[in-house]
Amino acid sequence: MMKSPAFTTDPAPDATHHEQESLVRGSVRRLEPAALAATRAAALACQHWVGRGSGPAADEAATEAMRAALASAPGTGTVVVGEGAKDEAPMLFDGEEVGDGGGADFDIAVDPLECTTLCARGLPEALTTIAFAEAGTLARLGASFYMDKLVGPPGTHDALQIDDPPAANIERVAKALGKPVGEVCVVVLDKPRHAELIEEIHAVGARVASPPDGDVATALAVLLPDGGADLLIGVGGTPEGVMTACAVRAMGGCMQVRLTPRSEDEEQALAQAGLSSERVYDASDLVTGEGFFVATGVTGGSLLRRPWQAQGQTYTESMIVAGGSVRRVVEAQPAASAGSRDDDPAAGQGSDQT
């Protein structure tokens, strides 16, 4: 396999390269290679199911590949927030332990295939995603399936308040970012529950981007310097919210959420777990220690390419968000061992650069 520079550390003004490497070896970031291996394996495993109409089959393939890859992660990882219960999908279930047991413990939040429906329909923006954090630092919110979210880029900490109307948040974000309200782009998932919200945003004069799915991808569009969005508002999944919090903390962004049960059963489960739908959480409540986020492209799109083949190699493009940096990683392995589709439309367009 081609050696990737993903695992080199980013230079810091107050630390030498050697000192920075030592810091990474002694932190949860030592697990970045294991997380990357897991998302890559999942992305390749579900390629056969892209555009074949079966989201559950794609989800199962991604989950089993990710579980197998995580088995060799150094240490013992505990899945704190999994995706299966909400989607009735094949689970990396809450409380499941992975890893080889040969190192320190760590927490995991995971969605082996985000945007399952888009994958099944052969549409862009499906990703495999995972977040690692220090043991005991991810919020235990397994009883919650949905949360109301407000995510802003760096520099908006004093501008966001989830209890305020959308117009007030948009106006303050515009001021914080130094742009007119009419140039603010707000990301809202295109769901029936958001119809009134989208009308309110239009009424204040801001622009709305409304993808059909993609809780994590939409948050990344806000957090990344070239993401093209300024604010995320609306109700989305709790597992994705916890993963997003890892990216928010790593990038210095702003996030506020409130658990939002969407059924009586979910409301009762929250009460039994001692969780409140009145409490406002910020990113530091959801992730109280060091963590990082990793994603690999499945169907291509604005964030990451779909796996492709060139010169007998299968390539993947991934993203690691950690320590104030975003690193895009292209890795290759022999096509015969990658399990990627031979009829990939991107074949022949590869690059081995990060």
> What average pLDDT does this structure show over 234-255?
95
Class of residue 110 by CB neighbours under 10 A (exposed 0-12, middle 13-18, buried 19+): buried
110 plus 159 within the same structural domain: no
pLDDT at 92 (0 to 100)? 84
What pLDDT, in 10s, does the model give residues 254-305? 999 999 999 999 999 999 999 999 999 999 999 999 999 999 999 999 999 9
170 and 235 inside one domain? yes
Clarify whether residues 121 and 229 are in a common domain: no
User: pLDDT per residue over 172-202, tens digit each?
Assistant: 999 999 999 999 999 999 999 999 999 999 9
Four-residue CA torsion sign, 214, 219, 220, 225 = positive
153 shares a domain with 282: yes
First to last CA, the chain: 15
Whether residues 162 and 279 fall in one domain = yes
Are 250 and 272 in the same domain?
yes
When divided into structural domains, the chain yields a total of: 2
Given the DSSP bridges, would you call strands 207-209 and 185-187 parallel, antiparallel or unpaired? parallel
Q: In the prediction, which pLDDT does 171 show? A: 98
Could you tell me if residue 218 is inside a domain?
A: yes
pTM: 0.87
CATH of the domain at 202: 3.40.190.90
- Confidence bin at 93 (pLDDT 50/70/90): confident
Does the pLDDT at position 35 exceed 90? yes
Residues 63 and 47 grouped into a single domain? yes
Answer whether residue 345 is part of any domain. no
What are the backbone dihedrals phi and psi of residue 56, each rounded to the nearest 5 degrees, phi first?
-60, -40
Categorise residue 96: left if φ over 0, alpha if ψ from -120 to 50, beta otherwise. Answer: beta
Q: Does 296 lie in the same domain as 279?
A: no
Q: Is residue 320 part of a domain?
A: yes
Q: What is the 3-state secondary structure (H, E, C) of 44-77?
A: HHCHHHCCCCCHHHHHHHHHHHHHHHHCCCCCEE
Domain extent at residue 184: 146-286
Give, in order, the Cα–Cα distances in Å from 204 to each of 169, 249, 254.
11, 29, 22
* Average pLDDT score, the chain: 88
Express as a percent the part of the chain with pLDDT over 90: 79
Instruction: Give 90's pLDDT tier (boundaries 50, 70, 90).
Output: low
